[in-house]
Structure 1
């Protein structure tokens, strides 16, 4: 309860000083991570809480479920651009290639490490999170097409990664002696249940909301609560029958998105605010873990090298290559590749790995995640403004219309 009190107090204080902090490029995630280091990290923390409890793990899983739901509903309609935004290429080609490259780099830097553990690490550090570069996405100097491509990728990549992450962790924590075939079948069963429950909840919720709105039984403002309840409802229902609650929440968001946007009146605003607040609690936990596992042992050069490769070669090369031939200029492809920032998505996956894997493997994954996220916050934060300034000084003529892909 004391931890909850501190988090709420931090949130209140942050709302009072957020505008002033923004002038110094201090964001809420940075502030809460630093608070976690100062207040909860170290051998004698002012605030003590156990990250390995069942309640904490469920709480982190709920954070991810709400994030996946809001990410799915955030997919905007960019059809008016009349151009391919490369979303399918980014998600279907660049993302898998990036994960494979991260695994290969991990094998080279950490010889003898289990391939399953390297896969978990790659799946944790490669999904992008746009929270650290939100100001870039709102910057009108940057071509809308660049911002749209990043927005689409950021909205969907964690939903695609989550079932693979769960499967790889299950292979590392296989205490029942299940065969590989059994694990695959269990993963498929969980995904099928998730799709069925997520689709059913999403479509049924959309139907009920429309009918009740048309009948005058509910108003647009009141339906904000309905949007907030959906990811929790879907996650709980799916987990009860043995399905993947993350995938289910993502599917529900996809099915409900059109209705939510049709309602208007910021019907998703409350869900997004809740997702933001829950994410700040994750940043606080990240700060604690950083102090406990990272600061004490220092930075190992292979860890720094892996983080740099994950942010550069493993990200930029696949993105730059897959976006060729659909109207993106070289600078636009380079910007999309470079600005694949890492944040709360990677942290949530890392915390879930930390509480489920054996200690040595958990520390390995978290140290790689910590280095990658910290470098991302610094490097992407420093380069956002120069990139936007470059686009302002070098406007590119509108690309010819191409079929959407």
Structure 2
């Protein structure tokens, strides 16, 4: 009960000065992470709840389920091809290259980890969180094509990274050579069942929800809550059947979004209010856990974390944008604004749940924690200054490729 009271007090105190702080480029995640560190067990010691505990893990998993479902539901995949494939390039070329480069650098730099453990770190740090640099994807100073490409990338790469993560975890803990039958079993159980359950629940649930809504059977609050129930239900059912619940939630969002046109708007309304509260609680608990999670921190991990936010992100973005006509300033801007946040935190916790005895677990957690901590503050503080600088450069360059029309998408806060 004391922990709930502390979170409530921090939330109330922040609300009193939230608008003022936003004018100083201080974002909500920055405040809640800093408050968590200060009040956590390793500093003042008044808040004892940690992410690695059962309650913290459950909160984090539910938050990821809602985010995956919401991101999938709000993206119109059919419209992406009309955007000269910029989001598709970032996802189809940039993200795999990010993972590959992260694996290779991690295998060389992180002396404490084996090859597949380095792959786990790379998969955890591959997803981006546009909400940490929300000004970037909402500012009218940034060309619509650029901000929506970053928005779509962030909305889909968390879901796309999950199969890679579970594959790498399986390889890291397998002591013998995996047979073709073993691979087939893994794919069927983790991906096949998860995607199948998500598709079935998304289509069936979306159909029922649309029919009930058309007949005015659904009250306004439950137009949001019903979809949250569908998201969490698909996750729980897939997990019960032996599949991957996160893949199920993501697939259910894709399916429901096609059946029910306003699914993305409704679930996004939830994530902007109740969902954002849950996310901020997780950032607070993450801050409280951060010092403990940094037990495995070494200079190798520090260098890797900094490279993850720069070289490992920027080179794949540059390669994926070849032939798009974008100016160098745009490529650099997109390369920098790939923050690591909620998805990376939760994917690391999933590793704890799946393989608590992973030999290099301390290093995996330290790499995630250091990278996210740096990202929360670095991307939050640099958003407005770099937006202003970038907009001036774009105006002076007369960048035509950046000015092309792009699909306007809803933004997750």
Gap change, CA 1:385 and 1:13, over 3 Å in 2: closer
**Residues 205 and 388 from structure 1, CA distance in 2 versus in 1: closer, same or farther, beyond 3 angstroms?**
same
Residues in 2 aligned to 1:339 and 1:195: alpha-carbon distance in whole angstroms: 30
1:3 is aligned to 3
Distance 1:50 1:313 in 2: 31
Q: Which residue of structure 2 lines up, in the alignment, with residue 363 of structure 1?
A: 362
Q: Which residue of 2 aligns with 1:108?
A: 108
Match of 1:88 in 2: 88
1:279 positional shift: 1.6
Residue number in structure 1 paired with 2:245: 245
Distance change (3 Å), C-alpha of 1:39 and 1:260: farther
Query: Secondary structure of the equivalent of 1:128?
Result: coil
**In structure 2, what is the equivalent of residue 129 of structure 1?**
129
Asked if residue 389 in structure 1 is aligned to residue 388 in structure 2, the reply is yes
RMSD (Å) for aligned C-alpha atoms? 3.0
Specify whether residues 130 and 403 from structure 1 end up closer, same or farther in structure 2 by C-alpha distance, changes over 3 A only. Answer: closer
In 2, Cα distance between the equivalents of 1:119 and 1:263?
Answer: 34
Using the alignment, how far apart are the partners of 2:309 and 2:87 within structure 1? 19
Aligned to 1:169: 169
5+ long unaligned stretches in structure 1: none
- 1:313 corresponds to 2:314: no
1:274 deviates by 3.2
CA distance in 1, matches of 2:169, 2:192: 19
Counterpart secondary structure, 1:180 = coil
1-side partners of 2:189 and 2:153: how far apart?
26
Residue of structure 1 aligned with 2:351, choices 337, 350, 353: 353
> 1:116, 1:168 within 8 Å by CA — same for their partners in 2?
yes
8 A Cα contact 1:106 1:306, kept in partner = yes
Once the two structures are superposed, residues 97-156 of structure 1 have per-residue CA deviations (whole angstroms, 9 ceiling, x without a partner) of 111111111122123621111011111112111111001111101100000110111001
Higher mean Cα deviation, 188-197 or 19-28?
A: 19-28
Kindly indicate whether the alpha-carbon contact (under 8 Å) linking 2:39 and 2:46 is maintained by their aligned counterparts in 1.
yes
* Pairwise CA distance, 1:10: 2.7
2:142 is aligned to 142
Note closer, same or farther for the CA distance 1:293–1:211 as it changes in structure 2 (3 Å cut): closer
Identify if the C-alpha distance between structure 1 residues 376 and 142 changes in structure 2 by more than 3 Å, giving closer, same or farther.
same
Question: C-alpha offsets along residues 326-370 of structure 1, whole Å, 9 cap, x if unaligned?
Answer: 232322222111211111111112233345433762220111112
| Cα separation, 2, equivalents of 1:285 and 1:80 | 36
Q: What CA distance in whole angstroms lies between the structure 2 residues aligned with 1:379 and 1:34?
A: 13
Q: Which residue of 1 aligns with 2:334?
A: 336
CA separation of 1:78 and 1:195: change in aligned 2, threshold 3 A: closer
Q: Following superposition of structure 1 onto structure 2, how do residues 2-401 of structure 1 map, counting pairs within 5 Å?
A: 2-42=2-42, 45-49=45-49, 51-75=51-75, 79=79, 82-111=82-111, 113-173=113-173, 180-181=178-179, 182=182, 185-219=185-219, 222-262=222-262, 266=266, 268-294=268-294, 300-355=298-353, 356-358=355-357, 361-393=360-392, 394-395=394-395, 396-399=398-401
Contact 2:146/2:334 (<8 A) preserved: yes
In structure 2, the CA distance between the partners of 1:178 and 1:204, relative to structure 1 (3 Å rule), is farther
Contact 2:314 2:336 in 1 (8 A): yes
Change (3 A) 1:78 1:31: farther
Separation of aligned partners in 2, 1:325 and 1:365: 36
The alpha carbon displacement at 1:3 in A equals 2.4
Q: CA deviation at 1:265?
A: 7.2
**TM-score between both structures, scaled by the size of structure 2:** 0.87
Count of aligned pairs between the two proteins: 400
Aligned structure 1 segments of 4 or more residues deviating by more than 6 angstroms: 400-404
CA–CA separation in structure 1 for the residues paired with 2:111 and 2:172: 18
Shift of 1:210: 2.0
